[in-house]
């Protein structure tokens, strides 16, 4: 029985990558770095910003990149994935809720303020700044497990990326994939996720939990 639901934030609760990928490109251009293609950036969402910077340009640029990236991306206002707020309010009545994001904490907090999703609904919010472990490393959930005080098989993780699935699977959690990010149904099926655990968006989650949780 599901007792706790943990959400990824980007492209799961918050419509993020359509705006963020161009911001990565603008930052690279401003710093006179090679500008990566959008498709290559979108494949990496779910990873930390440090990982993305290191992947394309090496560790030496991270602090400068983060500073300039914040100047650009903080100019934008982000929206919720359609229906996310209502879903969270509904699920909060029955389940412990949490968020784990690979993004820096200042950006994560700004995104939730933009969407007017009440962060008080979450028992915890874990950002890339709060742990040295990141998805797909299952140790990213270590603090969460202690905090929730429920069994691993009573936890459901909801995300849009393959590394979300890999991390949840390694941790022994249940997992539901949403198709509001880069990856398609076939990608999750090929990775070993059951079709019944793939939904179009978070709007379908309450029905899924009622049926399978």
Question: Looking at residue 141, which CATH number applies to its domain?
Answer: 3.40.50.1000
Quote the mean pLDDT of the chain.
95
Say if residue 3 is exposed, middle or buried (CB neighbours under 10 Å; 0-12, 13-18, 19+): middle
What pLDDT shows up at residue 82? 97
pLDDT tens digits along 110-158: 999 999 999 999 999 999 999 889 999 999 998 888 878 899 999 999 9
Q: Which range of residues forms the domain containing residue 107?
A: 4-15+79-212
Regarding whether 108 and 51 lie in a shared domain, the answer is no
> How far apart, in whole angstroms, are the C-alpha atoms of residue 115 and residue 11?
13
Does 151 lie in the same domain as 54?
A: no
**Considering only 18-32, 128-142, 175-189, which range has the smallest mean pLDDT?**
128-142
Predicted model pTM:
0.95
Burial class (CB in 10 A: 0-12, 13-18, 19+), 203: middle
Q: Count of residues for the chain?
A: 213
The total number of structural domains in the chain stands at: 2
148 with 112, same domain?
yes
Q: Are residues 54 and 24 in the same domain?
A: yes
Q: What are the beta bridge partners of residue 165?
A: none
Where among 26, 44, 73 does a domain terminate? Answer: 73
Q: Are residues 122 and 46 in the same domain?
A: no
Do residues 88 and 193 both lie within one domain? yes
State the CATH number of the domain containing residue 36: 1.10.150
Taking residue 116's Cβ as centre, other Cβ atoms within 10 Å add up to 9
55 shares its domain with 146 = no
Give the model confidence (pLDDT) of 193-210 as tens digits.
999 999 999 999 999 999
Same domain, yes or no: 10 and 24: no
pLDDT at 141: 92
Residues 45, 109: one domain? no
- For residues 117 and 179, membership in a common domain is answered with yes
CA distances from 107 to 67, 101, 183, 200 (A): 12, 10, 23, 26
Do 123 and 99 touch, CB atoms closer than 8 A?
no
**Judgement on whether residues 133 and 123 belong to the same structural domain of the protein:** yes
pLDDT at 78: 97
**For residue 18, what pLDDT is reported?**
94
Rg of the chain in Å (alpha carbons):
17
Helix or strand (DSSP H, E) at 199: strand 198-199
Phi, psi of 208 (to 5 degrees): -65, -45
């Amino acid at each position: 029985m599901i007792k706790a639901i943990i959400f990824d934030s980007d492209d799961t609760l918050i419509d993020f990558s359509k705006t963020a990928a161009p911001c990565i490109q603008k930052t690279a251009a401003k710093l006179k770095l090679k500008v990566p293609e959008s498709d290559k950036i979108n494949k990496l969402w779910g990873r930390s910003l440090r990982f993305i910077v290191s992947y394309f340009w090496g560790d030496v640029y991270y602090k400068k990149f983060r500073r300039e990236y914040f100047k650009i991306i903080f100019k934008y206002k982000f929206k919720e994935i359609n229906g996310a707020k209502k879903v969270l309010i509904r699920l909060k009545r029955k389940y412990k809720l949490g968020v784990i994001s690979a993004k820096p904490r200042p950006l994560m907090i700004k995104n939730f303020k933009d969407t007017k999703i009440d962060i008080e609904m979450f028992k915890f919010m874990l950002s890339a700044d709060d742990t040295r472990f990141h998805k797909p490393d299952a140790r990213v959930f270590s603090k969460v497990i202690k905090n929730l005080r429920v069994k691993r098989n009573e936890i459901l993780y909801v995300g849009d990326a393959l590394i979300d699935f890999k991390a949840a699977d390694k941790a022994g959690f249940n997992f539901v994939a949403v198709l509001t990010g880069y990856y398609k149904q076939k990608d999750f099926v090929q990775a070993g996720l059951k079709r019944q655990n793939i939904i179009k968006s978070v709007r379908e989650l309450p029905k899924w939990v009622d049926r399978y949780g």
